[in-house]
């Protein structure tokens, strides 16, 4: 499982879970702490401008666990709503993961390290415009979701 946080400038941090790891609320909260450290290091402008960080994440159970929700309240981040099972609205689904899936179509990995190295290479191969496009498409996709009453579209 790939957990990845990115913005219009690129990937902030990602974590490739080991096959034996389970994605839980505790892990989700730990990942948020890692994200905070990475943001302070890679995107200090977010903190120096005193702007609120806006987070859009999927509605996977660990991400909506009460301890995670409470932690996000402490951080005072704005969390955008995400309807369940709606890949149309999350840039990671319709932009990032779709691109990764296309690139992965003919890949075969024999180890965790091979997989991680491939992810590192894939991320490095994408320029800022790739990430900017994924984020800038979000408002239009939200309009389509509302116009389609939340129904799936492509």
**At 17, which CATH number?**
3.30.420.10
* Residue 87 falls inside a structural domain: yes
pLDDT, residue 9, reads 93
* Residue 154 falls inside a structural domain: no
* Residue 153 falls inside a structural domain: no
Number of domains present in the structure of the chain: 1
pLDDT digits (tens, 9 = 90+) for 70-122: 888 888 888 877 666 565 566 677 788 889 989 998 889 999 999 999 999 99
Coil/strand/helix, residue 2: strand
pLDDT, residue 75, reads 86
pLDDT digits (tens, 9 = 90+) for 14-67: 999 988 888 888 888 899 999 999 999 999 888 776 667 888 876 566 566 788
* Residue 55 falls inside a structural domain: yes
* Residue 24 falls inside a structural domain: yes
- The region, left, alpha or beta by phi > 0 then psi within -120 to 50, assigned to residue 24 is beta
Residue 68, domain extent: 2-114+122-147
- Taken in order 7, 9, 12, 18, the sign of the CA dihedral is positive
Asked if residues 42 and 84 have their Cβ atoms less than 8 Å apart, the reply is no
* Residue 152 falls inside a structural domain: no
* Residue 96 falls inside a structural domain: yes
């Amino acid at each position: 499982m790939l957990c990845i946080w990115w913005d219009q400038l690129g990937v902030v941090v990602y974590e490739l879970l080991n096959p034996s790891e389970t994605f839980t609320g505790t892990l989700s909260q730990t990942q948020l702490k890692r994200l905070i450290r990475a943001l302070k290091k890679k995107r200090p402008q977010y903190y120096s401008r005193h702007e609120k960080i806006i987070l859009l994440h999927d509605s996977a159970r660990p991400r909506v666990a009460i301890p995670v929700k409470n932690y996000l309240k402490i951080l005072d981040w704005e969390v955008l709503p995400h309807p369940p099972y709606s890949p149309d609205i999350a840039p990671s689904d319709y932009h990032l993961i779709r691109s990764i899936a296309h690139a992965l179509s003919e890949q075969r990995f024999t180890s965790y390290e091979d997989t991680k190295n491939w992810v590192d290479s894939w991320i490095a191969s994408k320029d800022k415009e790739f990430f900017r496009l994924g984020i800038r498409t979000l408002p239009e996709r939200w309009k389509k979701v509302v116009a389609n009453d939340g129904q799936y579209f492509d």
